[in-house]
Structures are given as C-alpha cells and as structure tokens.
A and B are shown apart, each in its own frame.
Chain A
C-alpha cells in the first residue's frame, strides 16, 4: 500500500518536473507539439492508469481476499505452527492447557514415545506394506487397461464409464460391501455360508479361506485390503493414463508400424516412455494416498481396525486419530510430522527417479 502511494507520488513528481522542463523548452523554442505529445501523455498515465486502476485495486484485492485469508490463517497457517509447537512440548495435552498449565518442557519426548510404542511400529508396518503392494499393482493394471481401452473403437466410451464407476463411491460403504463378499456367515457352524468370493474360488478347486472372520490370518486380511484398495484406486489412474495416451503423437506408432515392430516392443519402447510423466504423477499421488490409507480399513474391518482376535491393521493416520481421541495431542502431532516427513521423502525419491527416467 505504502509503496503504491510512493509510486503514484513519484509519477506525479515526474509529471511536474517533465512539464516544467517542457514548458521551459516551449518558452524558449515555442515548440507546441512537444507539449501536446508528451506532457498530456505523462499526466494521463499518472492520473488514469495509476490512480484509478492500480491504487484502488490494491485495497480492493485485500478486501476480496479477506474471508479466505482469515479462514486460512485460523485453519491452515496456525495449525502448521501449532503442530510443531505441540510436537516438541513434552507430554502436551489440550485439557491441561485449557486447565491453565502452560509450562511444558521442550524436547523430543513425543517423538521418542511414538517410535518406541509397539503399536505405532505395527501401524507403520501395515501402512508400508499396503503402499508397497497396492501402488505397483494398481499402476500396472491401470496401464494395461488404459492401453487396451485406447486400442478399441466400439464400446470404448461405455467401458470407460464403467471403469470410472468406483471413483464416485463412499469408501466406508463399499468397504462394507467387500466385507459382506468375503465374510463367512455363521462361521464354524454346520450351516455356514462361505460367502460369494469363497464360492467363486471354489469353482477353481480352492478350499474356502477365512478372509476376515475370527482367527483369520494376517496375510488374508492384507490380501482383502489390497484387493479393495486396488479396486478403489484404478479409476483415477485409468483416467489420467488414458488422457495421456490420447494426447500421444500418432506418428510414433505409424513409424513403428512401417518397421513392423512387434506389439510388446511398441508398448515398452514407445508407449511407456511417452507416458512416463503421467506414470510418475500416478505413482506419486498413489504413494501419497497410500500413506494416508484409513477409511478403507474402517470400511472393511470396522472401527477396531482388526479382525476379531487378529493382528491390528491400523495405519499411521489411524494412529494419529486414536491419539487425538485419547487427548494426546502431543503424540498425535509428532506422528503427523513423522508421516509428513515420510511422505515428503518418498515424494522426493519418486521425483528424483522420475527425473532420470521420464522422457518429456
């Protein structure tokens, strides 16, 4: 604001000084056109453009931005600082702060507590396992489906719509459907119904597997989760990759056709390299989403986040919410910062790798 005023003042002074000089020139040389062409222009610039347009713009802009800025300050900027504060205050607890305790020792105790807590290690393990399994699987599957969709003509739009369907779903609701599909009704009773998935795999001669019921194995639980998460992650990836495929220059394929290059070679040597920016994008967003996995597990296994009597399937985000529900804001903040650190590092690694491997 202040600077804008200075600027306008500067233009006025400039206008006056120049006018004075020109007036002197005019008096001495009587060159009328100099006045007309230059002075009017300078004053016009100073008056119209800078005062009417720029100066009023400045405070108007802040007026328009004010609702957004105020909300962002309270709900976005403040949390960033406050999370750091709470994470480094040992044994921080919101209730104590409201109760009047304001002296907390600074230190790394929250981080040490979080890392030494065995349940957190379990959460970290689950999250990493799900990430490592689902991201490559869903990316490869999405890539294959996108390439297939791109090379057919009839029914293409219809199939695209179907493949996009899982995107517009409620992850809790569909998680419950997956639970029902894998569930064994009346487990360990003679009239048990093994569920639709076990019936289907029964056609291939596989014995019914206890996927999610009481006493189910950890790997079975993880398999169900991987299937659900991949199912849920496919539409976005297909959409992005198909968009990329449709913008690929057709000349490369025609050149390959002239050389009668085999299809697999076309795929690995043309399609994948040309799509590499999109693949990198999909992998990075996939990892970020994978580290924040939470509601799909609640959908299938309920709010306990484990099969009855099974190993805990809680994730990093689940741990943060659990700590929050137990009023351990300090620990929750520390865990959130650790999560942010992991996501940041993984994204940086991904970007580094993709910079070397992608061809723009």
Chain B
C-alpha cells in the first residue's frame, strides 16, 4: 500500500512540475502573441491616424523637419477648402444619386432572376446558370473595352445612365441570392400557390423578408462600389458627372508648386469617413458578403 501511495505522490509532483513549466511557457507565448498582434494592428491603423492628423495641421506645421504626432493648431478650414477646391459637394451628390438608383434597380433585377433560377422550372435552366457563372472568370477589363464602344455608339457619354446601366446585373449577386432562395423550403411556395397567391406577392411577403440579410449585404457592396469606382467614370464622364473618387486625384495635382497636403488629406478623410461609418454599423453584413465573394465593391 505504502509503495503505491509513494508512486502516486511522485507522479503528482512530476505532473505539478510539468504544469508549472507549461504555464510559464504558455504565458510567455501569450505575451509574445499579443505583442506581435498589437504591433501589426498599430501598423494597420497608422495610415488612418496619419490621414486624420495631417488633415488638421497647418501647411507650415506639416512641413516641419520632424513631423508632429498631434496638430498644435487644429485647422477645420482645411475641410472647407477641400470642398471648394475639389468640388466635393457636387461629386458627392452625383455619387449618392448614382449609388441609390443603381442599387435599387440592381436589387429588382437580381431578385427577379434569382427567383427564376431558384424556384421556377424551365428548359436549359442549369446550362444557362452554368454559363453565367463561367463569365465571372473573365476579367472586367475585357468588358470595359467593348462597353466603352457601345456606350459611345448609344450616345450615353456624359450622362448618369452610363454610370448606372452597364453594371446593373452582377452574376455574383444573382448567385448569392439564388443560394439563399434555395434554402427556403419549396413547400412554402407550393402552399402559397395552392392558396392562389401571386408570385410577386409571394416574393415580397416571404422570400424577401427571409433573405433580408443577404439583400442588405448586396446593398452595401453595391453602394461601396459606386463610392469607390474610379476607372469607368473617368473614362466616360466629364467633371459634371464624375463620382467622388475622381475628384481626389485630379483636384490637387495641377496646382502650381507643391500640393497642399493637409487639404488633400482633408478630402481623403471626407471620402473615407462614410466608409468607416458603414463598416462600424454594418460590419456583420460586409464580412458575410466578402467572405463568400472575394470581390471588392
């Protein structure tokens, strides 16, 4: 008996030694992890900090040989100057208009076609869907070339139409919504049919409420797309119809001498803040959409 007791206590002591050693290792590893992650997080956040700080500095302070980490004198007038210099007000209204109209139209088109693909039976459904998915592989630049020719021939250059119509249908959104619609049991649809409910009413009363999270994701991504689009508006629109991103690059470069960087940073901040607000309040929906797609905007 005493021997077994001895052995048990020896094993327990060994275990204690091991666990205390393990604990020290574990704690140091955790500290290192936090150190690494916090450093990386600081690097990630620093450009945003620098953007906001620089936008509030005076030009003289910005040019100090050793940069200051906090503005000595806060210059709100930089923002006023940015709005007038880059014509941000007009560009902002353009972007909001284009964003809202294209989002609404795009949602209508997407919901209808996703419904057709998910619920209705017709010949060649799967072939058509596979063909549509295959076009997602082709880089967008390939479409841009011909679309530019097409809209020129249609006489759409320098209108809002040219910014809205070519990008109304996104196969990815149709795909996303179709997958969502497929998850809704078909019995609901058949029950509605038996009761004599019209398709559109069924869509509005059942399908749309049930897939609201995905619709919100699509809305956000579409609005962000309008907010961030740069190449297409620059190609097809003049300054009256361009979108907000176009105002950033051109407005401050053609000034004689050195660019006024604090004002430039103020404009950049104005463009970035709405994105941050959307991100803070609707993070869940953005991350959901993004993790399924891997596309930006």
Interface residues as binary, B120-145 with A (CB distance below 8 Å gives 1, 0 otherwise):
11110100000010010111111111
**CB-based contact A165/B245 at 8 Å:** no
Beta-carbon contact of B113 and A64 below 8 Å? yes
What residues of A have a CB within 8 angstroms of the CB of B272 in the complex? 169-170, 173-174
Chain A min CB distance to B103 (Å): 15
CB distance from A149 to the nearest CB of B (A): 7
Does the CB pair A64–B116 fall under 8 Å?
Answer: yes
Query: Do A3 and B112 form a contact, CB below 8 Å, given A79-B145, A180-B50, A181-B47?
Result: no
| Residue pair A71, B150 in contact (C-beta under 8 Å) | no
CB <8 Å contact, B145 and A65: no
Partner pick for B142 among A62, A80, A172, A191, CB 8 A cutoff: A80
Q: How many residues of B contact A (CB 8 A)?
A: 92
Q: Are B47 and A231 in contact (CB under 8 A)?
A: yes
Say yes or no: is B209 at the interface (Cβ < 8 Å to chain A).
Answer: no
Segment touching B, from A12-20, A99-107, A325-333: A325-333
Nearest-neighbour CB distance to chain B for A145, whole angstroms, equals 6
In the complex, whether B290 has a CB less than 8 A from a CB of chain A is yes
CA separation between A295 and B229, bound complex, in Å? 10
Q: Which of B1-9, B59-67, B70-78, B210-218 contacts A (4 or more CB under 8 A)?
A: B59-67
Task: For the complex formed, measure the closest distance between the CB of A207 and the CB atoms of chain B, giving whole angstroms.
Answer: 15
Q: Are B142 and A53 in contact, CB atoms less than 8 angstroms apart?
A: no
A60 / chain B contacts, CB cutoff of 8 Å: 116, 120, 199
How far is B253's CA from A98's CA once the two chains are assembled, in angstroms?
35
Are A163 and B174 in touch, CB under 8 angstroms? no
What's the least CB distance linking A288 to chain B, in Å?
A: 8
Of B109, B150, B231, the residue contacting A295 (CB under 8 A) is B231
Cα A287 to Cα B41 in complex, Å, equals 25
Interface bits B264-293 vs A (CB < 8 Å: 1, else 0): 110010011001101100010011001100
Complex Cα gap A298–B246 (Å): 11
The answer to whether B20 has its CB under 8 Å from any CB of chain A is no
Residues of B within 8 A of A123 (CB): none
Residues of chain B within 8 A of A82, CB atoms compared: 146, 149
Q: Which of B38, B142, B265 contacts A83 (CB 8 A)?
A: B142
Are A72 and B169 touching (Cβ within 8 A)? yes
A-contact bits for B92-126, CB 8 A (1 contact / 0 none): 00000000000000001110110111001111010
Given known contacts A177-B50, A320-B145, A340-B138, what 9 new A-B pairs fall within 8 Å (CB)? A53-B193, A58-B122, A61-B121, A64-B116, A78-B150, A186-B63, A193-B62, A199-B66, A336-B145
27 A-B pairs within 8 Å (CB atoms) are namely A53-B193, A58-B120, A60-B199, A61-B120, A61-B122, A64-B115, A67-B112, A69-B113, A75-B143, A75-B167, A79-B147, A80-B138, A86-B145, A148-B37, A152-B34, A159-B38, A166-B44, A167-B286, A170-B271, A172-B249, A176-B248, A176-B249, A177-B47, A177-B265, A193-B64, A321-B144, A343-B139
3 nearest A-B pairs in the assembled complex, by CB-CB distance: A79-B146, A61-B120, A68-B113
Binding site for A on B (CB under 8 A): 29-30, 33-34, 36-38, 40-41, 43-45, 47-48, 50-51, 54, 62-67, 108-110, 112-113, 115-117, 120-123, 125, 132, 135, 137-150, 152-153, 165-169, 171, 174, 193, 199, 224, 227-228, 230-231, 235, 245, 248-250, 253, 258, 261, 264-265, 268, 271-272, 275-276, 278-279, 283, 286-287, 290-291, 294, 296
